[in-house]
Structure 1
Amino acid sequence: MHTMWKGSISFGLVNIPIKMHAATENKDVKLRQLHKECKSPIKYEKVCPVCDKEINNDEIVKAYEYAKNKFVVLDDEDLEALRKEQEDRAVEIVDFVKLEDIDPIYFEKSYYLSPNEGGAKAYSLLRSALKDTGKIGIAKMMIRSKEQLAVIRVYENVLVVETIHFPDEVRNVQDVPNVPEETKIGEKELETAKMLIEQLTTEFEPEKYTDEYRTALLNLIEDKKNNEETSTPTLTEKPMPDNVTNLMDALQASLDRAKKDKPKPSQPKKKTKTTLKKKKATS
Structure 2
Amino acid sequence: MYDHILFPTDGSETAESVLDYVFDVAAAHDATLSVLNVADTNRDSVTDVRGEIVDALEQAGERIVADAVERAREAGIDAHGEVVQGDPAATIVDHADRYDADLVVMPTHGRSGIERVLLGSVTEGVVNTAPVPVLVVNPDGDRSYRYPAADVLVPTDGSAGANRALAEATDLASSTDATLHVLHVVETGTLGPDARSVIKESELDAHAQAILDEAVATAEGTLDDVVGSLRYGHPHREIQRYVEDNDVDLLALGTQGQTNFSWYALGGVTSKLVRSSPVPVLTTRTPEE
**Class of the TM-score when normalised by the shorter of the 2 chains:** under 0.3
Normalised to the residue count of structure 1, the TM-score between the two structures is 0.22
Q: Which has the higher helix share?
A: 2
- Flag the structure with larger Rg: 1
Normalised to the residue count of structure 2, the TM-score between the two structures is 0.21
